[in-house]
Amino acid sequence: AAREALASWSGPAATADGTPVKLLANVADGPSAEQAGPEPVQGVGLFRTELCFLNRKDEPSVEEQADIYSSVLAPYSDDRYVVVRTLDAGSDKPIAFATLEGEENPALGVRGLRLSFSNPGLMDRQLDGIKLAAERTGTETWVMAPMVATVAEAADFAGKVRARGLKPGVMVEIPSAALLAHQMLEVVDFLSIGTNDLTQYTMAADRMATDLAHLTDPWQPAVLQLIAITAEAGKQAGKPVGVCGEAAADPLLALALVGMGISSLSMAAKAVRPVGAAISRASMDVCEQAAEAALSAKDPMAARDAVRALLS
Answer with the entry of Mg ion, ligand PEP, none that 195 interacts with (C-beta below 5 to 8 A by kind): ligand PEP
Is residue 88 involved in binding ligand PEP (CB under 6 A)?
yes
Separation CA 195–CA 188 (nearest Å): 19
x/- site string to ligand PEP, residues 159 to 198, per CB under 6 A? --------------x--------------------xxxx-
List of E strands, 108-249:
140-145, 167-172, 190-193, 241-243
Is residue 30 involved in binding Mg ion (CB under 5 A)?
no
Annotated active-site positions, please? 244
Separation CA 177–CA 191 (nearest Å): 10
Q: Which residue numbers belong to the known binding site for Mg(2+)?
A: 173, 197
Count the residues of the shown chain that bind ligand PEP, applying the rule CB under 6 A.
10
Separation CA 109–CA 119 (nearest Å): 15
Listed residue (294, 292, 194, 189) closest to 252, CA to CA: 294
Is residue 194 involved in binding Mg ion (CB under 5 A)?
yes
Listed residue (81, 103, 79, 77) closest to 90, CA to CA: 103
Contact partners, residue 199, CB within 8 Å, separation at least 6: 205, 207, 216, 217, 218, 220, 223, 245, 247
| Pick 107 or 302: Cβ nearer Mg ion | 107
Q: How far is the CB of 196 from ligand PEP (least distance, A)?
A: 3
Answer with the entry of ligand PEP, Mg ion, none that 75 interacts with (C-beta below 5 to 8 A by kind): none
x/- site string to ligand PEP, residues 263 to 302, per CB under 6 A? ----------------------------------------
Separation CA 157–CA 31 (nearest Å): 28
DSSP state of 79: T
Q: Is the Cβ–Cβ distance between 253 and 228 less than 8 Å?
A: no
Q: How far is the CB of 102 from ligand PEP (least distance, A)?
A: 22
Q: Is the Cβ–Cβ distance between 8 and 276 less than 8 Å?
A: no
The window from 15-23, 192-200, 233-241, 302-310 that contacts Mg ion (CB under 5 A) reads 192-200
Q: How far is the CB of 8 from ligand PEP (least distance, A)?
A: 30
DSSP state of 155: H
| Pick 240 or 245: Cβ nearer ligand PEP | 245
Q: Is the Cβ–Cβ distance between 222 and 178 less than 8 Å?
A: no
Is residue 75 involved in binding ligand PEP (CB under 6 A)?
no
Q: How far is the CB of 145 from Mg ion (least distance, A)?
A: 11
Contact partners, residue 217, CB within 8 Å, separation at least 6: 199, 223, 300
| Pick 248 or 258: Cβ nearer ligand PEP | 248
Report the 10 Å Cβ neighbour count for 237: 18
x/- site string to Mg ion, residues 147 to 186, per CB under 5 A? --------------------------x-------------
* Interacting residue ranges for Mg ion, rule: CB under 5 A: 173, 194, 197
* Interacting residue ranges for ligand PEP, rule: CB under 6 A: 46, 48, 88, 173, 194-197, 244-245
